[in-house]
């Protein structure tokens, strides 16, 4: 059972306590990425877990949040999720020095989104304005480099993909990178646990849709956290990739070392060297 039907059935569940749902495949996609997770889903109170507004989807108290034992999280608002807003301001009309100073004093990702919106900037536009200060433009090959290295050293990461249906967040690593035409594929094999929970995750990234990749130093109460954001040609947010969030703990040193290397050009030029 895929996303449109599954979402409708999932959201019919009542109550704020744990609610069991059958083992379903839930898929979310946008013009550049699709990701699906197959497993037994459980609904939790929307107030639990600190779901924030990444992928331009602010979780309100009436938005059901679903989770699996494998670490997948999904939420589906009643109204379709809008794509990233087009830039409304010209950079020459924005005080970039004040924007950078205000960014340095923030303590949450939500505050950063609010700061950008108040300046009248689109997300991709703001990252370009702060390039070299709080953001770094990365080669597109950086994504595959992270996925390959994480498989070798079992470095965890967290992928968030949003589309008109909703938002799906999953955790890796999943295994080796595969190719099918112009699509980069990741597949997590099902666990070999007798009588255990059955789940698997798949993701496909369409290379012709990925236009820019940014490393963004996102504020949090624990300090700056490193997040990768991929955009399409029109500035639409395709995906975010970061270390799993542990409230109250600093960012993983291994993850920070890896992404700092990416910003300094230490990466393998793979990803078919597309547009490099």
- pTM comes to 0.84
pLDDT digits (tens, 9 = 90+) for 213-238: 999 999 999 888 999 999 999 889 99
More confident of the two residues 83 and 44: 44
What are the domain boundaries of the chain?
80-276
CATH architecture of 80-276: 3-Layer(aba) Sandwich (3.40)
What is the average pLDDT across 242-259?
89
Contact between residue 185 and residue 172 where contact means Cβ atoms under 8 Å apart? no
User: How far apart (Å, rounded) are the C-alpha atoms in residues 23 and 35?
Assistant: 16
Which of 76-85, 126-135, 196-205, 266-275 ranks highest by mean pLDDT? Answer: 126-135
Categorize the per-residue pLDDT at 49 as very low, low, confident or very high, splitting at 50, 70 and 90. Answer: very low
Mean of the per-residue pLDDT values of the chain: 80
pLDDT digits (tens, 9 = 90+) for 72-90: 999 876 554 444 455 567 8
Contacts of residue 206, Cβ cutoff 8 Å, sequence gap at least 6: 31, 32, 33, 182, 183
Residue 137 has pLDDT above 90, yes or no: yes
Residue 276 has pLDDT above 70, yes or no: no
* pLDDT above 90: percentage of residues in the chain: 46
149: Cα within 13 Å, side-chain hemisphere: 18
pLDDT digits (tens, 9 = 90+) for 111-122: 999 999 899 999
pLDDT of residue 1: 42
38, β-bridge pairs: 25, 200
């Amino acid at each position: 059972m895929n996303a449109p039907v599954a979402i409708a059935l999932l959201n019919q569940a009542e109550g704020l306590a744990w609610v069991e749902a059958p083992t379903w495949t839930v898929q979310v996609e946008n013009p550049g990425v699709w990701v699906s997770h197959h497993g037994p889903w459980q609904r939790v109170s929307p107030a639990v877990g600190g779901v924030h507004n990444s992928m331009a989807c602010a979780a309100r108290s009436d938005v059901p949040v679903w989770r699996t034992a494998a670490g997948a999280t999904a939420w589906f608002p009643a109204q379709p999720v809008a794509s990233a807003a087009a830039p409304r301001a010209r950079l020459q009309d924005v005080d970039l020095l004040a924007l950078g100073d205000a960014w340095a004093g923030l303590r949450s990702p939500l505050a950063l989104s609010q700061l950008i919106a108040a300046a009248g900037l689109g997300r991709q536009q703001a990252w370009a304005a702060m390039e070299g200060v709080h953001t770094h433009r990365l080669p597109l090959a950086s994504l595959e480099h992270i996925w390959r290295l994480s498989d070798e050293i079992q470095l965890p990461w967290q992928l968030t993909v949003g589309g008109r249906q909703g938002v799906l967040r999953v955790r890796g690593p999943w295994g080796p990178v595969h190719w099918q035409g112009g699509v980069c594929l990741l597949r997590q094999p099902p666990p070999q646990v007798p009588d255990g929970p059955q789940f698997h995750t798949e993701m496909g990234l369409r290379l012709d849709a990925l236009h820019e990749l940014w490393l963004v130093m996102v504020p949090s109460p624990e300090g700056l956290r490193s997040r990768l954001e991929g955009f399409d040609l029109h500035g639409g947010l395709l995906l975010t990739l970061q270390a799993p969030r542990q409230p109250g703990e600093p960012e993983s040193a291994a993850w920070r070392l890896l992404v700092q290397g990416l910003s300094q050009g230490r990466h393998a030029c793979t990803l078919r060297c597309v547009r490099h």
